[in-house]
Amino acid sequence: MPTPEVTFLDADQARDNAVVDELVHIVNSAYALGEAGLWQEGATRTGPAEIAEAIRSGGLLGAALDGRLVGCAYVHPLDAQTADLGLVSTAPDRWGNGIGRALVRTAEDLMHQRGVMTMQLEVLVPKGWEHPGKRRLQDWYIQLGYQVIRTERFDQVAAHLEDQLSTPCEFRIFRKALARDRVGSN
């Protein structure tokens, strides 16, 4: 199985509509499947402005295979010791090929090189019932060493999107301590 090339996208790529549109498509396709039933019909996870800003900020990782974008992740500092990892997305036709794992590990390594000691991420989950895709995703993050540290109300994290939900949801906050010998351990 080929290994994806994972790197931070150059800020100039925020002006490349083809790159931005492809990343929007990857994220929205992955989330549409992974969060089916949680959002109202027609709701999308992201748009071109948000993706372009993530690229401009220097925090958007792109995963490529054979010169084609197949995944992305957004990482940014929360404080001097902690970085947030989000938008971890792989093109659905590439699920199960190690792209998500490569994105997460690269984000961890790059943030550790910058002095970050802890990675954090949020997983949206429905309240009162278990979503099979979300259960698999949580199990996957646990396999990667992440642990649930708390639950947050949806409106505490993403109040501006609350009216797009089709069922009550909350966020599970995960964290992982980055090992001192992490860099170069891939």
Q: Is 163 part of a structural domain of the chain?
A: yes
Whether the CB-CB separation of 144 and 186 falls below 8 Å is answered with: no
Q: Is 171 part of a structural domain of the chain?
A: yes
Can you give the CATH number for the domain in which 144 is found? Answer: 3.40.630.30
**pLDDT tens per residue, range 160-183:** 899 999 999 999 999 999 976 544
Q: Is 139 part of a structural domain of the chain?
A: yes
According to the model, what pLDDT value does residue 185 have? 44
Model pTM score: 0.92
Give residue 23's domain range.
5-177
Q: Look up tokens 């019932």; give the residue.
A: 129
Residue 131 has pLDDT above 90, yes or no: yes
What gap in Å lies between CA 79 and CA 17, rounded to an integer?
31
Q: Is 186 part of a structural domain of the chain?
A: no
What gap in Å lies between CA 72 and CA 86, rounded to an integer?
9
**pLDDT tens per residue, range 13-51:** 999 999 999 999 999 999 999 999 999 998 999 999 999
What is the number of domains present in the chain?
1
Whether the CB-CB separation of 112 and 183 falls below 8 Å is answered with: yes
Q: Which two tokens stand for residue 142?
A: 């646990």
Q: Is 52 part of a structural domain of the chain?
A: yes
